[in-house]
Structures are given as C-alpha cells and as structure tokens.
Amino acid sequence: MANPETAEVAAKVTLSSESVEKSSPIKEFWKKFKKQRLAMVSGIFVFLLIIIAIFGPAIAPYSSEEPDYVNVLQGSSWEHLAGTDAFGRDIFSRIIVGTRISLFVGTISVLLGAVVGTVLGLISAFYGRWVDSIIMRICDVLFAFPGILLAIGIIAILGPGLGNVIIAISIFNIPNFARIVRGSALSVKSTVYVEATKSIGAKNGRLIWKHIFPGTASSIIVNFTMRIGTAILTAASLSFLGLGAQPPTPEWGAMLSNGRDYLSTSPHVTFYPGLAIFLTVLAFNLLGDGLRDTLDPKIKD
Amino acid sequence: MLRYVIKRLIGIIPILFFVSIFIFLFVHLIPGDPARLVAGQDATLQDVEVVRQELGLNQPIHIQYFNFISGIFQGDVGSSIKTGRPVFDEIASRFMPTFWLTFWSMIWAVMVGLLIGVISATKRNKWQDYLGMFGAVSGISMPSFWMGLLLIQVFAVQLGWLPVGGLESWQSYILPSITLGSGVAAVVARFSRSSLMDILKDDYIRTGRAKGLNEHKVVWGHGLKNAMIPVVTMTGLQFGFLLGGSIVIETVFSWPGLGRLLIDSVAFRDYPVIQAEMLLFALEFILINLIVDLIYGFLNPQIRYD
Amino acid sequence: MTEKMLEITNLKTYFHGDDGVVKAVDGVTITVNKGETVGVVGESGCGKSVTSLSVMRLLHDTPGEIVDGSITFEGKSLLDLSEKEMRMIRGNEIAMIFQEPMTSLNPVYKIGKQLEEVIKLHLHYDKKEARNHAVNMLKLVGLPRAEDVVNEYPHQLSGGMRQRVMIAMAMACNPKLLIADEPTTALDVTIQAQILDLMRKLRDESERSIMLITHDLGVVAEMCDRVVVMYAGEVVEEADVLSIFENPKHPYTKGLLGSVPKLGQDLEKLDSIPGNVPTPANMPKGCKFAPRCEFAMDVCWKKDPSLLATNGNHTCRCWLYQDQEKILEV
C-alpha cells in the first residue's frame, strides 16, 4: 500500500467494471483466465494429453511391448519419429502409451492425498485444540523427511511397483494438503457468516461440508493442479531409480533409465521420454500458476 | 536473541521424538519377520531365534525403543545385512561427498535464484521478467535425472570437458551441482521475485525514493533485506528438496554418497541401513531448518525482542 | 512581489487501468510562495496525494503518468530534469512526510542508519558528522533519548515518535519545500497536536515553504496561509485561509466546513455532504460536484465551470459565481 489514493483509484476501476456487468463466478473466472495465455496453451496441451491417455494404444503406430530385433537403437526417422530402443521398440509409440500411466499415477496419487489431507485439514481447523495439535504434529513428522525420501522409505516397506508408488506419493501429499486446507479453512471459519450459521445451531458435519469446505475449494484446486506436476515427476524419478514401474512397462522414467546404458551411442533413447516428462510437468505447472493467479487474489501480483 | 535460540531448540524436541518413533516403527512395519530377514532365508528356526535375541526383538516394545535411542547416542545403529559392517561406518564414509554436493548446489542455486528473482521483480512485465520466470518454471518442471543425463551427454561424452561420473577431482562436482541446484534456483527465483515485488509496494520503499536514493540502493539496500526474510525460510524448506534430489542425482552420476547407498540398500532390502539413513536425512533437515530459523531471527529485528 | 517556490500549472496525471484511463489529477494549478504554507484539502480520492507524488515524480510503483502540465521549482522545470538530477532534489531541496509513520520506516534498519543515509547522500558528511547531525535532528524534533533512539529499530518506537523521526529525516538536509501528506491523520489526537506544534515551530524558524495535504480543516486553520480545495482531480476553490473559513464560495467547501463540528454548535445540525466522490466510470458530464450539490442548476449538468476569480485572489469553480451570459451561451 504505497499509496492509499492510487490504490483507491485502482479499486474504483475494478469496482466500476464489476458493477457494469454482474456475471456469475464461472464467467468471471473464465474472463480472467482467458488473459493468461500461457496457462490457456497449457490447458489445451493437458487436454490433448488426456485424449492421448484415453486412446493411447489405439493411436500408437507400433506396439509398445513387441520387440523388433531388426531395428535396434535406430535414430529418429520418418518410420520411427523418436527412434527405437534396445529392443527395437518404437519410442514414440511407447511414449504415447506411457502417457496414460503418467497421468493416471500423477492424478490418482494427488487425488488420494488431497482427499485425506483435506479431511484432516478441515477437521484440524474446525475442532482446533488437541485434535489440531495432533494432526499438525503428524504433518510435521511427515515433513521432516525431505522430498522424495518419504516415498522411498514407504516403497522400502511396501516393495517396488507402480501401485506402491501411488500409495507412497499419496502419503507424501497428505501433509501438504492438510496444511493448506487448514490455513484457508481457518480464515473461512472466522468469517461472519460461518459464525452466524453456527449460532443458528447447524450441525458440525453440515457446517464443515456446506460452509467451510466451499471456501477452501479454490486453494484446493490450485494446489491440486500444482501437485500433479510434482507427482508425475516423483513417480518418474522412482521408476528411474528402479523402484516404480518395471520393464517392459512403457513408463517414461523407466524408459529413460533403460536408455542410460546407450547414452554415448544412442542419446535419443533417454532424450525423448525425458522431453515427454518435462513438457507434461511444465504444462501442469503453468496451468497451476494460471489458476492460482485467477483464483487466489491474495497471491495475485 | 539467546531466548529465541532456546525457544527454537525446545520447539524441535517433540518433532525429534515423533520422528524417532516413526523410524523405530519403520522396521516393525516391514512385512515379515525382521529377525528372519537378518538371519537370511536359509537360516534354521534356531538361528532366527538367536538373531532375535541378539537384536533384542524379543523384548517389550518400549524397551526396544529405549535401546534404539540409546544406541543412536552411542553411534550404534546396527549392522548392514549386506556387508555385515556397522551401519555407522557405512554411512560415515558416504556423508561428506553428499554434504559437499548439496552445499555447493545450494550456494550457486541461492545466488543465481536471487539474482534472477531481483531482476525479474525490478523489470516486471518486461522481457527479462518473462525470460527469467519461464526459465524458472522450466527449472521446476525439468526431471533432474534427465537434465543430468543431457549434461553428461554434452559436456562429458561429446565435449569431454568434465568427468562422466564418480568423485575424483573438483571438476566432478560441476555437473552434479548444476543438476541438483537447478530446481532450487528456480524456486528461489520465483519466490524472491514475488516477495520483492510485495516489498517494493511498501511505504518505506517510497520513503527511500523520496530521500533521493537511486533505484539500486532502494532495491538492493532497502528492498532485498526485507524480501530475504521469507526467502530464507523458503530456502530452508528447499534444502529438503536438495537432500531428496541428491538421492536421484547420485544415482545418475555414480556419486559415492548417501543417496546411492540408500537406493542400493532399498534394492537389497538392507533395513538397518535404510533406517539409519532415513534418520540421518530427517535429522539433517530438522537441523538445517533450525539454522534457517536462527538466520530468520537475525534478519528480522522484531523477532529478537519478542 | 512574493517569490514563487513551487508552481504547478495545469498538471494532468492519469492512471492507466485495465478498464481505461482514470484522470486522478486533471488540470490542477497550485502555487506555493516562499515561506508560505499552502493547504491542499479534499476528501480521499480527490487527487491531492497524486498531486504531491507528481511533484516528487514518485509515481514509480503506480500505473500513473504525468501526461500534461508543468511543475516549476525555483525556476527549474522538474518534469524536464533527468532522473539523476531529480534525485538530487528529492530529500534535499524538496522533502516529503507521509501519512503512515508506522510503515514508512524500514523495519530492518536502525533509526540512525536511516537518517544518516539521507544526510550522507546530500550533505556528504562523513560517518561521525552524519551521526552527530542525526542525533541533533532527533533532538530538534523533540525526541527524548535521541542518543539511544539512533540505535533502535522502528518497531521499538511509538507512532508519534516514528512520525517525529520521519520529520527529522525530512528536515535533515534543510529542504526549501516540505510536502506533508496527511502527517497527523494516523496519530492520536494529543500526538496530532504535538506534531502540528513541531511543524509550526520548524516553519517559523526558517523561510520554509510547506505544502500541507490534509482532509482535516482543523489542521488547515492552525497551519496554513492559503488553502486549495480539490474535488475529483480538479481545484474547485482557492483563497487565503481567512476567506475560506469566513466566506466560502463553492458548495463543496461549504459542505466540508459544515461537516466540522464547532464548539458550542448543536451536534444535530452537523451537516454532511450526501453521496461520494464520483467513480471514474460515472463521472458527471458537467460539474463533477453536481450530483451532490444542493444548488445544482440545469447548466451544472451540461458543462463543467471554469476556475475564475470571484474577487481578488479568491477563485472558485462554480456556475453560481460565473457570468450569467456565459451560462446562457450553453
């Protein structure tokens, strides 16, 4: 607030535009979101990825698992856009088929983490006191294991495999959502209308679900999108380390790991799967940034 | 200031306690019998019982926890199933390479990240800002193992300037540090940009300009020190990201550090080593955050008098 | 012949927002003579702060831009100076005091450092001289324990003390013109009186010009020689302080005076001006005050009156005092 007067002028400008057209929140959101061009492009890219994930095996020009020992480790060509791997399999086809795995693992693991984390966050914020301290202490403990370490620890217990990767990343996401939801639920809780509903005598469950949860929705959506990118990255890292998807599954991280042995002679085997991971994660992150800027005016510049 | 330090030290005790319980229970969460695991698949029932006695697994759980904790204080955290050597020795030789790798990564990442963040904040909505922020979001989105392999391909395989992997000379640090730090640099850049942009709206910035200070002094002198307060906290959290990231990077670069030891141990189901490493990483992370909190107190004069 | 210190002529400062241009200051002319204190009065949002920031050319962090007009300080055209030359003037020849003493000081630096910074910059004192000067300035503004205060952080001081520090900082290089933007608004009433006393004392001790921006007519009555009343980015009335209080012309000025309680007045009769300052989106076509004016005539809705002298130095922007023939033309 460098300048109260200019801030006021600015506030008036926005006020006047609001009074001119009273639009629904969705329209208002769309109007703002359209201005975020990078996020729009990313959104379209993510949509395409979803289409590819659904129809993957049907669109892929070659089989993703059938070896072809005649065409081993070939570079990019018209027949094989991204070349072939050590078993002669078409890398482009494997990337297409692998899209489903990456999106599925990313989305499901964040979804599971988000559901549990949101419930814990809401409970923590609503009941406060010892319930709050216990939940938050658990989060502190989970946060004490830096980054991917917690996921590796969980896989060490459960054993390698994609299913366990999903569980590991879900658990890894729980404290994140719990903290964010708790934070925004606390600010919603203190608003007048929740106080008013409380004094009318609404039941706790209803109060949380109908009044507090909707207020935290935008921060959940933003965080959800942002975490998918990280989840895809973590899953790929775990597969790269040999703790996730096992060969011959066309998981991007696992494909990249296979290519390491041929790095000096056939770098394309590592390059293209990595590019797929990079672009996918980039799209989710840019989309998340755009959603944050439109939905969360606090962080908005 | 001293009171603040003591307050913070007391504050981490419960977290340490819960973390130690979590890691202690870790071995008990593994499906199957830990004693059988240590004794090996071919061991007789009698052998397994002997191992159980040795490990104290037949004692009540709270005694086991007590033994576990007192073992930690005596530097005894069991022996590796794979090599039979004490876990402490296994870890000790791996600690410094990982420490220096994360240290150098952090140093360059914070410096470059801050520089990009400040330039982006001051050149807001100009090409420098767009370039910096697109670079940052790319840095966050890039799979580190991919970046590492690309760097190896270009600078080690093609150009032959730097070693492919391992730790032989100071040149060995260059590629792994660049790879490991890039994500943190990106996060620091984004965060310091938004933090500084908020600060530049503050009243005392206007005061500084009204004094006749030039933009350089306003931004670097008055803006940055204030903007650093949240950036420092966030950087501490990023240290965790680095420690985690080192696990992947060490595998890419065949680094003789803790991360690769951990991955090897997971593959071999060498639980005592995994347990000790988890504990070490967690301790290190908690310790770093404590240091960060202290720096925070140092930067923010209002904390010191509370 | 009085010497002119600051001359703002037909200043236009516009803000470029997402939804078009906001004319925050639209053709303002204000003159401050040497040794004179001019009050700039108006409700918040009338453009008075933007005017002062335009003089200092401190619109950096705003979307505002000076699109027209001139600002002359001691014969120099400020708008033609380079940024570097302008920095030599800021804090040195023209200093500014802001409304928010709580946030106008940098929380991470000690008071001494913040004072010495401006002293070293403009007066080129060395470290020791700067420290002495800083302590002297703090004593001058009546801060107790000045020697200790230089080693303290802003949050250790009260609001009134911080505003004294801000004044000390502004006066440190002995500026010829002081712009005070609502210097007492954020303070308690008793502290307000002390700060005003201090400012009067500092003014009387030297031939300093002051441009005092406020919405508080009480402050104006105590401090000012001349008053400029602003409304919606324009000057609507200007006169010496006595004329304004005894013979206000513009209905807006009358309204402002009516909303100040006077001793012995029946509080029920306290007037307030109905409505609010118009938003840029529904800025009236004619006189900008017309929608809130109880004397509004047909002509007021059609055409904006111009600022004309009613008698001597008393000028007013209102059809009530303007040539009837001109009205008929419209």
Q: Tell me what the mean pLDDT of segment B256-285 comes to.
A: 85
Q: Output the pLDDT for position C144.
A: 84
- Tally the residues of chain C: 330
Q: Output the pLDDT for position A132.
A: 87
Residue at C200 is within a domain: yes
Q: How far is B102 from chain A (nearest CA, A)?
A: 13
Residue at C25 is within a domain: yes
Cα angle for residues C82, C86, C87 (degrees, 5° grid): 120
Query: What whole-number distance in Å separates Cα of residue A261 and Cα of residue A270?
Result: 10
Question: Residue-wise over A163-172: b if at least 16 C-beta within 10 A, else e?
Answer: ebbbbbbbbb
Q: Which of A32-36, B144-148, B184-188 shows the lowest per-residue confidence on average (mean pLDDT)?
A: A32-36
Question: Helix, strand or coil for residue C149?
Answer: helix
Q: Are C182 and C254 contained in the same domain?
A: yes
* Cβ separation C99–A4 shorter than 8 A: yes
Q: Output the pLDDT for position B178.
A: 93
Q: Output the pLDDT for position A297.
A: 52
Strand C37-41, strand C226-231: pairing: parallel
Neighbours of A108 (CB within 10 A): 14
Residue at C244 is within a domain: yes
Query: What whole-number distance in Å separates Cα of residue C181 and Cα of residue C47?
Result: 12
Query: What whole-number distance in Å separates Cα of residue C159 and Cα of residue C147?
Result: 19
Query: What whole-number distance in Å separates Cα of residue A263 and Cα of residue A259?
Result: 6
Name which residue leads in pLDDT, C269 or B256.
B256
Q: Are C114 and C244 contained in the same domain?
A: no
Query: What whole-number distance in Å separates Cα of residue B260 and Cα of residue C10?
Result: 72
Dihedral, CA of residue C98, residue C101, residue C106 and residue C109, to nearest 10: 130
* Cβ separation C15–A3 shorter than 8 A: no
Helices (H) and strands (E) in chain C, counts: 12, 12
Highest mean predicted confidence (pLDDT) among A80-89, A230-239, B80-89, B294-303: A230-239
Is residue C213 a contact partner of residue C181, using CB atoms and an 8 Å limit?
A: yes
Residue at C190 is within a domain: yes
Q: Are C66 and C167 contained in the same domain?
A: no
Q: Are C145 and C186 contained in the same domain?
A: no
Task: Indicate if the pLDDT at residue B75 is higher than 80.
Answer: no
Single-letter residue type at A55: F
- In chain B, how long is the greatest CA-to-CA distance? 85
CATH superfamily of B96-256: MetI-like (1.10.3720.10)
Task: Indicate if the pLDDT at residue B79 is higher than 70.
Answer: yes
Q: How confident is the model at residue A106 (pLDDT cuts 50, 70, 90)?
A: very high
Strand order of the β-sheet with C37-41 is C94-97, C177-181, C209-214, C37-41, C226-231, C234-240, C314-316, C308-311
Domain count, chain C: 2
Which of the listed residues C264, C297, C313 is the one where a domain comes to its end? Answer: C264
**In sequence order, what are the residues at sequence separation of 6 or more whose Cβ sits closer than 8 angstroms to the Cβ of residue B191?**
B117, B230, B231, B234
Q: Output the pLDDT for position A23.
A: 55
Q: Output the pLDDT for position B181.
A: 92
Q: Are C162 and C204 contained in the same domain?
A: no
Q: Are C186 and C158 contained in the same domain?
A: no
* Cβ separation C281–A4 shorter than 8 A: no
Residue at C293 is within a domain: no
Q: Output the pLDDT for position A6.
A: 43
Q: Which domains does chain A have, with CATH numbers?
A: 34-295 (1.10.3720.10)
Q: Are C182 and C140 contained in the same domain?
A: no
Residue at C116 is within a domain: yes
Cα-flanking dihedrals φ and ψ of residue A21, to 5°?
-130, 120
pTM for the whole thing?
0.80
Average pLDDT, chain A: 80
Q: Are C89 and C186 contained in the same domain?
A: yes
Query: Which residue in C157, C67, C143, B266 sits closest to A165, CA to CA?
Result: B266
Query: Which residue in A243, A233, A249 sits closest to A157, CA to CA?
Result: A243
Cβ contacts of A10 on chain C, cutoff 8 Å: 15, 17, 63
- Range list of β-strands (E), C43-176: 64-73, 76-77, 94-97
Task: Indicate if the pLDDT at residue A20 is higher than 50.
Answer: no
Task: Indicate if the pLDDT at residue B13 is higher than 60.
Answer: yes
Dihedral, CA of residue C312, residue C317, residue C320 and residue C324, to nearest 10: 80
Helix-, strand-, coil-residue percentages of chain C, each rounded to 5: 40, 25, 35
Q: Are C10 and C87 contained in the same domain?
A: yes
Question: Helix, strand or coil for residue C238?
Answer: strand
The chain B residue lying nearest A283, using CA atoms, is B141
Query: What whole-number distance in Å separates Cα of residue B15 and Cα of residue A257?
Result: 36
CA dihedral for C183, C184, C187, C193, sign (positive or negative):
positive
Percent of chain B whose pLDDT exceeds 90: 12
Q: Tell me what the mean pLDDT of segment A154-171 comes to.
A: 88
Which residue, among B141, B182, B198, B218, would best test binding to A if mutated, counting the most A CBs under 10 Å from its CB?
B141
**In sequence order, what are the residues at sequence separation of 6 or more whose Cβ sits closer than 8 angstroms to the Cβ of residue C237?**
C227, C228, C229, C244, C248, C249, C250, C252, C253, C314, C315, C316, C317, C318
Q: Tell me, what CATH number does C46's domain have?
A: 3.40.50.300
Residue A179 has, within 13 A of its CA and on its CB side, a CA count of 13
Residue at C209 is within a domain: yes
Is residue A245 a contact partner of residue A162, using CB atoms and an 8 Å limit?
A: yes
Task: Indicate if the pLDDT at residue B14 is higher than 50.
Answer: yes
Q: Are C226 and C252 contained in the same domain?
A: yes
Nearest Cβ partner for B212 among C90, C105, C155? C90
Is residue C34 a contact partner of residue C2, using CB atoms and an 8 Å limit?
A: yes
CA dihedral for B67, B68, B73, B74, sign (positive or negative):
positive
Q: How far is C19 from chain A (nearest CA, A)?
A: 6
* Cβ separation C105–B204 shorter than 8 A: yes
Q: How confident is the model at residue A11 (pLDDT cuts 50, 70, 90)?
A: very low
Single-letter residue type at C137: M
Cis peptide before B176 (omega within 30 of 0): no
Is residue A153 a contact partner of residue B278, using CB atoms and an 8 Å limit?
A: yes
Query: What whole-number distance in Å separates Cα of residue B183 and Cα of residue A169?
Result: 19
Helix (H) or strand (E) holding C315: strand C314-316
Which residue, among C50, C53, C61, would best test binding to B if mutated, counting the most B CBs under 10 Å from its CB?
C61
Which residue, among C13, C48, C49, C104, would best test binding to A if mutated, counting the most A CBs under 10 Å from its CB?
C49
Q: Output the pLDDT for position C268.
A: 54
Q: Output the pLDDT for position A300.
A: 35
Query: What whole-number distance in Å separates Cα of residue C59 and Cα of residue C52?
Result: 10
Q: Are C65 and C110 contained in the same domain?
A: no
Domain boundaries, chain B: 2-73, 96-256
Task: Indicate if the pLDDT at residue A4 is higher than 70.
Answer: no
**In sequence order, what are the residues at sequence separation of 6 or more whose Cβ sits closer than 8 angstroms to the Cβ of residue B282?**
A144, A145, A146, A149, B19, B23
Question: Could you say which DSSP state residue A4 is in?
Answer: H
Question: Could you say which DSSP state residue C278 is in?
Answer: P
| Subunits with 3+ C-beta pairs closer than 8 A to B | A, C
Q: Are C2 and C148 contained in the same domain?
A: no
Cβ burial, residue A77 (10 Å; 0-12/13-18/19+): exposed
* Cβ separation B15–A270 shorter than 8 A: no
Q: Output the pLDDT for position C266.
A: 54
Query: In DSSP terms, which residues pair with C27 in a beta bridge?
Result: none
List per-block mean pLDDT (blocks of 10 residues) for chain C, which spans 330 residues.
81 79 83 89 81 85 81 87 87 86 85 90 89 88 86 87 87 87 80 82 82 86 88 86 84 78 54 69 76 78 78 80 61
Is residue B100 a contact partner of residue B173, using CB atoms and an 8 Å limit?
A: yes
Is residue C21 a contact partner of residue C15, using CB atoms and an 8 Å limit?
A: yes
Q: How far is C234 from chain B (nearest CA, A)?
A: 25
Q: How far is A33 from chain C (nearest CA, A)?
A: 15
Helix-, strand-, coil-residue percentages of chain B, each rounded to 5: 80, 0, 20
Cα angle for residues C201, C202, C203 (degrees, 5° grid): 90
Q: Tell me what the mean pLDDT of segment A109-121 comes to.
A: 93
Single-letter residue type at A300: K
Q: How confident is the model at residue A116 (pLDDT cuts 50, 70, 90)?
A: very high
Q: How confident is the model at residue A110 (pLDDT cuts 50, 70, 90)?
A: very high
Angle between the B258-268 and B87-122 helix axes, to the nearest 10 degrees? Answer: 120
Which residues span the domain enclosing C165?
100-174
* Cβ separation B197–A301 shorter than 8 A: yes
Is residue C40 a contact partner of residue C228, using CB atoms and an 8 Å limit?
A: yes
